[in-house]
Chains A and B, each alone.
Chain A
Amino acid sequence: AQSVTQPDIHITVSEGASLELRCNYSYGATPYLFWYVQSPGQGLQLLLKYFSGDTLVQGIKGFEAEFKRSQSSFNLRKPSVHWSDAAEYFCAVGNFGNEKLTFGTGTRLTIIP
């Protein structure tokens, strides 16, 4: 069975600082990996996804993520955060032939001035 771990429940960073949110997955074959963002009181919006090819994927809002098979990781990064990036971030994993995604428990990001 596939599973996702987001080890950081809450992260606080200063505006303008760099960000890395961790995501580790468990799945035997090549997974399909997603990062979603949820602003307060809103639904989830896709930031980026990986399913094959270049292991560094670019997303919206200046985010990127790198798939590292050897570490079973798909960490989300942004070089310089903005106050509007404050939100909850979810990593999710899927696989070929499975119409369901498995979500991590989320990481809440707080931005301080």
Chain B
Amino acid sequence: NAGVTQTPKFRVLKTGQSMTLLCAQDMNHEYMYWYRQDPGMGLRLIHYSVGEGTTAKGEVPDGYNVSRLKKQNFLLGLESAAPSQTSVYFCASSHWGGRAYNEQFFGPGTRLTVL
């Protein structure tokens, strides 16, 4: 049981390049989330999904797109990377058992640098 995994672990992009971050979970969780973590700002929600084929915007969605074609995968895309998107990106998942207090399980993170 690997939990939540993220690919890649590190990436360096030039301004204007595109890339996709992959998140996979093997816990059969319904909900999945993408956060970015910046110094002094905690975790900010980018996009999230409450089930296969659904996505919703979080707190800071601009410049990102997401897709949830399979229940176990949640992709985060940057179409035209900007230096402001330099950050550490975390994926998380949680089980919806009819209760909102189920914990979120986090992946190890992807460190992205945009030059």
B100 adjacent to A95 (CB under 8 Å): yes
Interface bin, chain A: 20 to 34
The number of residue pairs between A and B whose CB atoms lie closer than 8 Å in the complex comes to: 57
- Taking a contact as CB atoms under 8 Å apart, the answer to whether A99 and B40 are in contact is no
Q: How far is the CA of A72 from the CA of B48 in the complex (A)?
A: 28
Q: Are A105 and B42 in contact (CB under 8 A)?
A: yes
Cross-chain contact B100 with A105 (CB below 8 angstroms): no
Chain B proximity mask over A40-58: 1 for CB below 8 Å, otherwise 0: 0111111001010000000
CA distance A110 to B115 in the complex (A): 31
B106: chain A residues within 8 A (beta carbon): 36, 43-45
- Report the bound CA distance from A86 to B100 in whole Å: 30
B69 interfacial contact with A, CB 8 Å: no
Q: Which of B43, B44, B50 has the most CB of A within 10 A?
A: B43
Cβ B104 vs Cβ A43 within 8 A: no
Among B33, B44, B90, the residue within 8 A (CB) of A43 is B90
Known: A34-B103, A43-B108, A51-B101. 14 other contacts (CB 8 A): A41-B109, A42-B108, A43-B90, A43-B109, A45-B106, A49-B103, A90-B42, A97-B100, A98-B100, A99-B100, A100-B33, A100-B48, A105-B40, A105-B42
In the complex, 6 of the A-B residue pairs with CB atoms within 8 angstroms, ordered by the A residue number, are A43-B90, A44-B92, A94-B100, A96-B99, A96-B101, A106-B42
Partner-B contacts on A (CB < 8 A): 9, 32, 34, 36, 41-46, 49, 51, 90, 94-101, 103-106
